[in-house]
Amino acid sequence: MQYSNIVQRVLELAQQASEARDRAARQLIEQDLRVFLKPLKAAEIYMLATLMYLGLEGGSVAGLMDRYQQMSDTFGTPERAIDQMLTKDSLHKHLRKSLAILESAGVEVDALLTTHIDSPLALLNSSDDVELSLGPWRCDQCGQAIAKPEHGLLQWLIRSKDGHGTGRDLRIVHVNHASPLGLPNGCGPDEREEFSRDGAGLSDVPLHWMLEPDGLVRLLSFVEEGEFSANEVNRIIMRLLVPGYETARPYFQKAIDAGIVELELPDDYFYQSQLGDIVANIPKLEK
């Protein structure tokens, strides 16, 4: 029997029990419910209890498998879980509410005990306990962390022609004295080589300055002047100023592939709740 049919049948019987005329009628229906539940697999029973508590206590689908684990640990036997469910007068209401939660999260009831239980989605950590912060930033040259703003630079190359600047290679890199690559150029380019390529000169600004309002205004002026595209500048702005962005950034594609987040905005644009979901699940995404 498909799991959604099981849940549906439990819901119907629980509703009938709650609407019974008197105690005797109610007990008869509860007996039916018990008879229906008894031959089910332990996992099916524990999942029913999990759904009941999801509806009762609220919460998100993200914590569902932790809750499931708790149920099987707490009750120890399916019989105890059944007893517990039957003590709840509003079992049908809790189940209905939890079905609504699953639906709004796009989770199929039938997948709960099959694909879902093994999928990364089923094992999601909750983002509730994650605090998103700015930095550390990842150096675009050496790939190592820039532990504090004083260790970093925003760097770019720009060439001018007829009063108009054209920029390239807008990057966040280590400042020379903090670069793991060492002197002479650290994580920056060879200025002479770059100049001989297309006449571009090197510019940079300390990362801590870029985190201030003036830094934001400077970046916006790049777009205004047409020196860099909005595509490049916006991503740098998010890296600098959106909490959690730089930590989650290496995992964007994996998180989408695993179903942890769905892209609601253009590529690389995520809301705080989505970044929280990604950051909370980095240990799983690294596996």
The residue among 187 and 275 lying less far from Zn ion, judged by its C-beta, is 187
Of the candidates 43, 56, 142, 241, which one interacts with Zn ion according to CB under 5 A? Answer: 142
Q: Residue 191 — φ and ψ, nearest 5°? A: -60, -40
To Zn ion, the closest distance from the beta carbon of 182 in angstroms equals 10
**Closest residue (Cβ) to Zn ion?**
139
Task: Determine the residue type at 190.
Answer: D
Task: Determine the residue type at 108.
Answer: E
- Under the binding rule (CB under 5 A), the answer on residue 141 touching Zn ion is yes
Q: Which stretch binds Zn ion (CB under 5 A): 116-124, 184-192, 221-229, 276-284?
A: 184-192
To Zn ion, the closest distance from the beta carbon of 181 in angstroms equals 6
The residue among 91 and 187 lying less far from Zn ion, judged by its C-beta, is 187
Dist CA 211 CA 175 (whole Å): 16
Nearest CA to 276 out of 241, 244, 249 is that of 244
To Zn ion, the closest distance from the beta carbon of 72 in angstroms equals 47
Give 44-105 as a DSSP string. Answer: HHHHHHHHHHHHHH---GGGHHHHHHHHHHHH-SHHHHHHHHHT-TTHHHHHHHHHHHHHHT
- Under the binding rule (CB under 5 A), the answer on residue 7 touching Zn ion is no
- Under the binding rule (CB under 5 A), the answer on residue 155 touching Zn ion is no
Dist CA 178 CA 12 (whole Å): 66
To Zn ion, the closest distance from the beta carbon of 139 in angstroms equals 3
- Under the binding rule (CB under 5 A), the answer on residue 172 touching Zn ion is no
The residue among 141 and 247 lying less far from Zn ion, judged by its C-beta, is 141
Q: Which stretch binds Zn ion (CB under 5 A): 60-68, 84-92, 131-139, 205-213?
A: 131-139
To Zn ion, the closest distance from the beta carbon of 189 in angstroms equals 12
- Under the binding rule (CB under 5 A), the answer on residue 139 touching Zn ion is yes
192: left (phi over 0), alpha (psi -120 to 50) or beta: alpha
> What six digits make up the tokens of 271?
């809301």
- Under the binding rule (CB under 5 A), the answer on residue 174 touching Zn ion is yes
Count residues contacting Zn ion (CB under 5 A)? Answer: 5
Nearest CA to 15 out of 122, 115, 94 is that of 94
Place of tokens 């009628």: 25
The residue among 94 and 151 lying less far from Zn ion, judged by its C-beta, is 151
192, exposed or middle or buried, with CB in 10 Å at 0-12, 13-18, 19+?
exposed
- Under the binding rule (CB under 5 A), the answer on residue 216 touching Zn ion is no
Task: Determine the residue type at 278.
Answer: I
Q: Which stretch binds Zn ion (CB under 5 A): 20-28, 100-108, 142-150, 276-284?
A: 142-150
Binding site residues, Zn ion, CB under 5 A: 139, 141-142, 174, 187
